[in-house]
Amino acid sequence: MEYFLELVFSGLTRGSIYALIALGYTMVYGIIGLINFAHGEIYMIGAFTALIIATVLNMYGLPLPAVLILAAIAAIVWSAAYGFTVERVAYRPLRGAPRLSPLISAIGMSIFLQNYVMLAQTPNFLPFPTLIPEPAFLEPIASMVGTTDLTILLVTTVVMVLLTLLIKFTRTGKAMRATSQDRTMAFLVGVNVDTVISITFVIGSSLAAIGGVLIASHIGQINFYIGFIAGIKAFTAAVLGGIGSIPGAVLGSFVLGLTESFATGYVSSAYEDVFAFSLLVLILIFRPAGLLGKASIEKV
Amino acid sequence: MNVITIKNFRNALVTALWFMFLTFPIMVIKVNTTENLIVWRWHNLLYVGATAFTASLLTALYRQYRDRKRSQQQQEEGTSRVSWNERFFNTPAIARPVCALGALFFLVFPLLFSTYQVNIMTTALMYVVLGLGLNIVVGVAGLLNLGYVAFYAVGAYTYALLNMHYGVGFWVALPLGGIMAALFGILLGFPVLRLRGDYLAIVTLGFGEIILLVLKNWSEFSQGPGGISNISRPGLFNIQLSMEATLNYQYYLTIAMVLLTIFVINRLQNSRIGRALFALREDEIACQAMGIDKTTIKLTAFALGATWAGLAGVFFAAKNAYINPDSFTFLESAMILCIVVLGGMGSILGVIIGALVLILLPEYLRAFSDYRMLAFGAILVSMMIFRPQGIVANIRQSYRSSKDGAP
Amino acid sequence: MNMEPILSVRGLCMDFGGIRALDKLDLRIRAGEIAALIGPNGAGKTTFFNCLTGIYTPTAGELLLAPPGQPSRRLNGLKPNRVTEAGLARTFQNIRLFPGMTVLENVLIGRHCRTKAKILGAILRDPRTRREERENVDIGMALLKKVGLAHMADEVAKNLPYGAQRRLEIARALATEPLLLLLDEPAAGMNPQETQELISLIRSIRAEGLSILLIEHDMKLVMSLSDYIFVVDYGRKIAEGVPEEVRINPVVIKAYLGEEVDYA
Amino acid sequence: MAKSGKIFPVLASAALLVASVSPSFAAAPIKIGVAGAHSGDLASYGLPTLKGAELVVKDVNAKGGIKGELVELVLVDEQCKPEAAANVATKLVSDNVKAVIGHTCSGPTKAALPIYRDAGIVAISPSATTPELTQSGEYKYFFRTIASDDRQARTMTDFVLEKLAPKKIAILHDKGDYGLGLATYARKFIGESGKAEVVLFEGITVGQVDFSAVIQKIKRSGAEVVIFGGYHPEASKLVSQMRKKRLDAIFVSDDGAKDEAFIKVAGKDAEGVYATGPTDTTKNPLTIEYREKFKKAEGADPGSFFDNGIAATLAIINALDKAKSFTADDVATALRSEKVDTPFGEISFDEHGDPVGIGFNMFVVKDGQYVTAE
């Protein structure tokens, strides 16, 4: 029973990591129907920016809490800027182009950003500091779940709730929903579609930055390739949950994380990804729009 | 006239400043947390600014040029626009000698160049086959397959395993590899056909990963990450060939394979099946309403595409005499997809040019090897923005009625 | 005129998540006649076509196709391509041609379900395949001639003027050799002269023995062309009859007036 | 191998054109190929060999070369990709090299060796460790200046069984050629010894963000020692997360983890971690000499396999110099019989092509440094 619980916590930790990245995927997909392959790279850039800024500030002798907060803010600012720029440069000129064009553009952007960071920084792994201290009162459960894990879990939940509220109740959220349902109609009723899409990218990228900082701190090291690997999994999770749906992305991530955890715990970690992808195929066969996605009826 | 207005200038300045801000942490500060070193590279900021400034101005100029061309075309409404390749193919006086020269070049290639060049060209030609195969699925039928490399792996491992365990030769394995891959194509096709667009993409991606993981983990079956070595090269009536002769022989075999592929795909495209595939890409609902069985035709597309990947896989295993799972990663699928899209979806000539450019260019850009992938990514993005139809746009076949008197 | 019904619809219902788009619709179309389905916007006309052609699966009801001299066939639950094979062909309200393919190719797609060539045949081009292909092109060209598009056979469909695209859709539907042709607002967006040409085209199709069911807004066209008219509103049939009867039916007038009031 | 023999008369003119471009044969220096990962993500494993070879050849040429001929290196890059390795191997063959230093990784080496064998060229790898390369007996012209995985696994298991003496051992690997190979040998040797039980044998996914599930599994298995076959990024992730989950089983890894980066990344969690690595060479005068030369030229410390690369270059040049002729048989014989002084001390090669005199030791992290474990 304890083992089972341990596996559940492992699954939830992994799931919440996926979820932080998956939320950005699902938002962008919800608005413009594009698999933003470069999203994982934004996450990676967030982690790099945080590390760079933190190292510099540390050298100038700032106190640790200030370093942490400033580095996290820098990561968010720059990731958002990258997300915004990527959309402007690589996706906006392709509105209305055949469906495959933006996808190829996204793959190209992903390759470009990976190599950009590799060349400008380093191909090697860099150590990333542990940001969140482990207080003594959590020691009894430390063997099951760490402080960083709990923080990630908490942040994921808060972010999901905030996002859902944002989309349900704010003006921007309404504009987003309108844009995602029918871009032309949204434009006709006075929604500034370009701005809404830019806002979506900025929000999604900021989330990726938060994810980047927390996850890098959990793993303890970063290099230019971390975005790609995590990105593929996060995207799988988003599809599993029903891409375009915010709660779906989180649910899908947890389902994926738990599946992998149980696959490792009771079968073999060598086959965890086989289980993950097989689950994806199975779910899509029975629910073609994912767990919480809405099946769309095409107008004829 | 192209004029750089003050507005363009200001925009370029803003762009330059924005990119200088954007790239500041990554480009200027280099941290080495293992050594606790910080290097400030302020000069990079200058380069970024200058590049962004120039790029912005050039884009503005290009937009002017494009808009002017468009308005010209609108004035000349009625005269239908003809792309360069259409003009090329419709002018036999130019097309024939150019094609003949091209054919001659490929024919005598091994005599003119070193074995290394021949080997590289053989690789590039294999990608032509792969590209043409994927073109059936993505370019013609419009089904986005991100796990195409899985079928390539199936073909390669079919030959490698049969050769290792039973000593099966290349010529026997070739059709078997194609059939195995087709079976896998149908196996994958059945569950995923209900899915549309991007869902299909992610499931095929997952399928590719599953195949790769099985090859890596199931060592008893596939020899695991160590791979399979000493695979027999293709034989020629039991004649012992020198290495150079073998390589040349492989080159000509691959040429034959490419020709066969072009022949088959060309005929398929202009047939009942090919038209149905095209129609599927254009409008799925109308396609069904016209009496085309969506399921069958999608399965056909998957199986056809997979067959070609399987055949190419057998070639790959035979050419390298050694395979391991690392050759069948997602990046390979992405590469083949890029060949198709860059070359021009649905266009045979386009895919050929796309494969040759994407495979040969990096080989000859070794000097810039570090910047190769960076340039590759940038080229993909700019191609999509400036020429989304690819290098060679697809042209439709014209048919002649027997009553018109033409053949 | 042959009075046997070629299509019988009984109690057809279609629900979309609690909203009933079609409510117990009954209608019979006799072989060789031109029938029309009219009704205000949103009355469920196109939904009816979609149910009929297998794009939607009806919630309840019977769809029976009775080819002359053959036992009747239930169409419910058949996939769209099976419906087409059974002998129903349609056009679309918002034109759905294959825009990147040539005019002739569009028609050849219509031939798909009446031909057999397989992959092997396509590659080898054996005599049978070649003969089939030649026949296809001949039939296609003949159809294009009939709709007046023969001179544009090699043009890419999306470059065609609007009226020509509508006619191409009809040619494509005819290529499937249907018993019953379903036309969804064939005259929408056409100028008076094009409409006139369309009327004579539809008449000539009927003259070849096909039955036609059309959805149309252009009352003049409906009244001058149809043998029999069904009127639907809110998914229900509110009237039917020959044009003269329908024209003076108070229920119909009210339904249409009501609509016009909405617009005013 | 010469191309000129088979050219069609019609194309003779074209061939002449090509021939006039390529360097003429009379003044040809002795060419040695250097094949490996010189770009891409694994370049850090291949570049040190290349730099080392360049330094050695510079010295050799300064002293008059081999048998009076200068030595020229032909550099080819395959990024550790097997399909590219087959291509560059044919390039080296058509460039008429006398020997090849390479390849960096085992997979590409497997792909290239049949080509060198058929062409009659000796290859010497500084870093390809898969045992069957030498032990299969298929490649009589293949040598290496690094001990094979089974010897490393033997060093590792001997140390673990004798010095740490656990009852239960968990073995993990990264599913790669190197990691899985090593793990498989370790399992085999432990099983044969009968002194301990392998309670877990699992592959982990490279690049995965979180290993807690597999760590809980280790915990449940009750293993006192965890052996990991793979490279340092995964090793540091594993050991850090193990400690976070309060699992303090002893962590033992391989040469892939015996890297400064491992200690930097794992930080305090690295303390007490064992890793096998080539015998300490830092006191050898040749090592010191070449490390200094490298530092002068590049301004940094050389990376992985630098010493092995130097050793391979010295060995092959020595063999070419001592051999009766440049045929592969003579060069191979010279490699087996002639002892040569390298950063590892005096070495020669056994009949399989494995080095005699290059061994492995066990190291342990103490105060942020790898020191030889006793």
What is the rounded CA–CA span in Å between residue C199 and residue C193? 10
Maximum Cα–Cα distance for chain A, whole Å?
A: 65
Neighboring chain C residues of B304 at a CB cutoff of 8 Å: 119
Is the separation of the CB atoms in C39 and C255 below 8 Å? Answer: yes
Q: Is there an interface between C and D (3+ Cβ pairs < 8 A)?
A: no
What is the rounded CA–CA span in Å between residue B387 and residue B395? 16
Taking 3-state DSSP, the helix, strand and coil percentages for chain C, each rounded to the nearest 5, stand at 45, 25, 30
Q: If you write DSSP's letter for every residue of A209-220 in order, what string do you get?
A: HHHHHHHHHHHS
Q: Residue B78: pLDDT above 50?
A: no
Specify the CATH architecture of the domain D150-279.
3-Layer(aba) Sandwich (3.40)
For residue range D143-189, list pLDDT tens digits in order: 999 888 898 999 999 999 998 889 999 999 988 888 998 999 999 99
All partners of chain C with 3 or more CB pairs under 8 angstroms: A, B
Average pLDDT over residues A22-41: 88
Total number of domains in chain A? 1
- Which pLDDT band holds residue D107 (cuts at 50, 70, 90)? confident
Which residue is it, tokens 């820098």?
A: A74
- Which pLDDT band holds residue A187 (cuts at 50, 70, 90)? confident
User: How many whole angstroms from its chain centre is CA B239?
Assistant: 35
Residue D325, min C-alpha distance to chain A (Å): 43
Q: What is the domain partition of chain D in residue ranges?
A: 4-20+28-146+283-356, 150-279
Average pLDDT over residues B392-401: 64
Amino acid identity for residue D99 in this structure: A
Q: Residue B216: pLDDT above 80?
A: yes
Give the one of C79, C133, C159 whose C-beta lies nearest to B288's C-beta: C79
Residue D22: its pLDDT value, please? 42
- Degrees, nearest 5: CA angle A36-A41-A46: 120
Residue of chain C whose Cα is closest to the Cα of A298: C55
Residue B211 in contact with partner chain A when CB distance is under 8 A: no
Mean residue pLDDT across chain D: 85
Q: CATH code at A77?
A: 1.10.3470
Strand order in the sheet with C19-30: C19-30, C5-16, C60-65, C73-74
User: Using only C-alpha atoms, what is the Rg of chain B?
Assistant: 25
Contact call for B286 and C97, based on CB within 8 A: yes
Q: Residue A42: pLDDT above 90?
A: yes
Count interface pairs A-D at CB distance under 8 A. Answer: 99
Q: Which two tokens stand for residue B208?
A: 């590719």
Average pLDDT over residues D280-293: 86
Q: Do domains D4-20+28-146+283-356 and D150-279 have the same CATH topology?
A: yes
- Which pLDDT band holds residue C263 (cuts at 50, 70, 90)? very low
- Which pLDDT band holds residue C264 (cuts at 50, 70, 90)? very low
Residue B402 in contact with partner chain C when CB distance is under 8 A: yes
DSSP code, position B348: H
* Residue-wise burial string across B44-79, b where 16 or more C-beta atoms lie within 10 A, e elsewhere: bbeebbeebbebbbebbeeebeeeeeeeeeeeeeee
Residue of chain C whose Cα is closest to the Cα of B288: C81
Residue C263, min C-alpha distance to chain B (Å): 32
More confident residue, B76 or D232: D232
Half-sphere exposure of B288 (CA within 13 A, CB side): 17
Q: Residue D16: pLDDT above 70?
A: no
- Which pLDDT band holds residue B74 (cuts at 50, 70, 90)? low
Q: Which two tokens stand for residue D30?
A: 């002795």
Q: Which two tokens stand for residue C156?
A: 């890419």
Residue of chain B whose Cα is closest to the Cα of A90: B381
Give the one of D110, D119, D175 whose C-beta lies nearest to B243's C-beta: D119
Whether A298 is in a domain gets the answer: no
Average pLDDT over residues B368-382: 80
Helix axes B197-217, B170-192, angle to 10 degrees: 130
Neighboring chain C residues of A297 at a CB cutoff of 8 Å: 16
Which residue is it, tokens 């060995």?
A: D315
Q: Which residues contact A2 (CB under 8 A, 6 or more apart)?
A: none
Residue B291: its pLDDT value, please? 86
Residue B404: its pLDDT value, please? 43
Partner residues linked to B30 by β-bridges: B39
Mean residue pLDDT across chain B: 83
| pTM greater than 0.90 | no
| Domains of chain C and any CATH numbers | 1-87+178-264 (3.40.50.300), 97-177 (no CATH)
For residue range B276-321, list pLDDT tens digits in order: 888 888 888 888 888 888 888 888 888 999 999 999 999 999 988 8
ipTM above 0.85, yes or no: no
Q: If you write DSSP's letter for every residue of A248-285 in order, what string do you get?
A: HHHHHHHHHHHHHHHIIIII-GGGHHHHHHHHHHHHHH
For residue range C50-101, list pLDDT tens digits in order: 888 888 888 888 888 888 777 888 888 888 888 888 888 999 888 888 888 8
Amino acid identity for residue D48 in this structure: P
For residue range A127-179, list pLDDT tens digits in order: 888 777 777 777 777 777 888 888 888 998 998 899 989 888 888 888 888 88
Whether A136 is in a domain gets the answer: no
Is the separation of the CB atoms in D263 and D293 below 8 Å? Answer: no
Q: What count of residues does chain B have?
A: 407
Average pLDDT over residues B225-231: 86
| High-pLDDT (> 70) share of chain A, % | 98
Contact call for B377 and A98, based on CB within 8 A: no
Residue D372 in contact with partner chain B when CB distance is under 8 A: no
Whether A187 is in a domain gets the answer: yes
What is the rounded CA–CA span in Å between residue C54 and residue B246? 57
- Restricting to A residues 240-299, those with a Cβ less than 8 Å away from any Cβ of C are 297
Give the one of B338, B341, B385 whose C-beta lies nearest to A94's C-beta: B385
SS (H, E, C) B120-179: HHHHHHHHHHHHHHHHHHHHHCCCCCCCCHHHHHHHHHHHHHHHHHHCCCHHHHHHHHHH
Contact call for D237 and A220, based on CB within 8 A: yes
Q: If you write DSSP's letter for every residue of C36-84 in order, what string do you get?
A: EEE-STTSSHHHHHHHHTTSS--SEEEEEE--TTS--EE-TT--HHHHH
Contact call for B377 and A94, based on CB within 8 A: no
For residue range C110-128, list pLDDT tens digits in order: 888 888 888 888 888 888 8
All partners of chain B with 3 or more CB pairs under 8 angstroms: A, C, D
Residue B253, min C-alpha distance to chain A (Å): 32
Q: If you write DSSP's letter for every residue of D2-49 in order, what string do you get?
A: -SGGG--GGGHHHHHHHHHHSPPSTTPPEEEEEEE--SSTTHHHHHHH
DSSP code, position D163: I
Contact call for B225 and D138, based on CB within 8 A: no
Q: Which residues contact B139 (CB under 8 A, 6 or more apart)?
A: B340, B345, B346, B347, B351, B394
Range of the domain at A180: 8-129+147-286
- Restricting to A residues 97-126, those with a Cβ less than 8 Å away from any Cβ of B are 97-105, 107-117, 119-122, 124, 126
Average pLDDT over residues B190-201: 76
Q: Which two tokens stand for residue D318?
A: 């020595």
What is the rounded CA–CA span in Å between residue C221 and residue C223? 6
Q: Which two tokens stand for residue D192?
A: 């044969």
Whether A73 is in a domain gets the answer: yes
- Restricting to A residues 23-82, those with a Cβ less than 8 Å away from any Cβ of B are 29, 33, 35, 45, 48-49, 51-53, 55-56, 59, 74, 78, 81-82
More confident residue, B3 or A45: A45
Residue D11: its pLDDT value, please? 40
What is the rounded CA–CA span in Å between residue B332 and residue B88? 32
Please tell me which of A184-193, B21-30, B393-402 the model is most confident about, judged by mean pLDDT: B21-30
Q: Residue A300: pLDDT above 80?
A: no
What is the rounded CA–CA span in Å between residue B268 and residue B242? 38
| High-pLDDT (> 90) share of chain A, % | 29
Residue C162 in contact with partner chain A when CB distance is under 8 A: no
Residue B288 in contact with partner chain A when CB distance is under 8 A: no
For residue range A232-280, list pLDDT tens digits in order: 889 889 888 888 888 899 999 999 999 999 998 898 888 888 888 888 8
What is the rounded CA–CA span in Å between residue D140 and residue D123? 10
Cβ-based interface (< 8 Å): residues of A facing D: 3, 6-7, 9-11, 13-14, 17, 118, 123-127, 142-144, 146, 149, 215, 218-221, 223, 225-226, 229-230, 260-262, 264-265, 268-270, 272-273
What is the rounded CA–CA span in Å between residue D373 and residue D363? 5
- Which pLDDT band holds residue B83 (cuts at 50, 70, 90)? low
Residue C126: its pLDDT value, please? 85
Residue B385: its pLDDT value, please? 87
Neighboring chain B residues of D106 at a CB cutoff of 8 Å: 226
Cβ-based interface (< 8 Å): residues of D facing A: 41, 43-44, 175, 202-205, 207-210, 212-217, 219-220, 232-233, 236-237, 240, 244-247, 261, 264-267
Residue A77, min C-alpha distance to chain B (Å): 10
Contact call for A7 and D213, based on CB within 8 A: yes
Please tell me which of B371-385, D120-134, D257-271 the model is most confident about, judged by mean pLDDT: D120-134
Neighboring chain B residues of C108 at a CB cutoff of 8 Å: 272, 275, 399
Residue B317 in contact with partner chain C when CB distance is under 8 A: no
Residue B226 in contact with partner chain D when CB distance is under 8 A: yes
Contact call for B229 and D39, based on CB within 8 A: no
Helices (H) and strands (E) counted in chain B, each on its own, are 16, 2
Q: Residue B37: pLDDT above 80?
A: no
Half-sphere exposure of B406 (CA within 13 A, CB side): 8
- Degrees, nearest 5: CA angle B390-B395-B399: 165
Give the one of B274, B285, B294 whose C-beta lies nearest to C122's C-beta: B274
Nearest to D320 by CA among D27, D127, D57: D57
- The number of beta carbons lying within 10 Å of the beta carbon of residue B42 is 9
Q: Which two tokens stand for residue A111?
A: 């390759």
Whether A240 is in a domain gets the answer: yes
Residue B400: its pLDDT value, please? 54
For residue range D114-127, list pLDDT tens digits in order: 889 888 999 999 98
| High-pLDDT (> 70) share of chain D, % | 93
User: How many whole angstroms from its chain centre is CA B291?
Assistant: 32
Q: Residue D28: pLDDT above 80?
A: no
Neighboring chain A residues of C50 at a CB cutoff of 8 Å: 300
Superfamily of chain region D4-20+28-146+283-356: Response regulator (3.40.50.2300)
Residue A83: its pLDDT value, please? 95
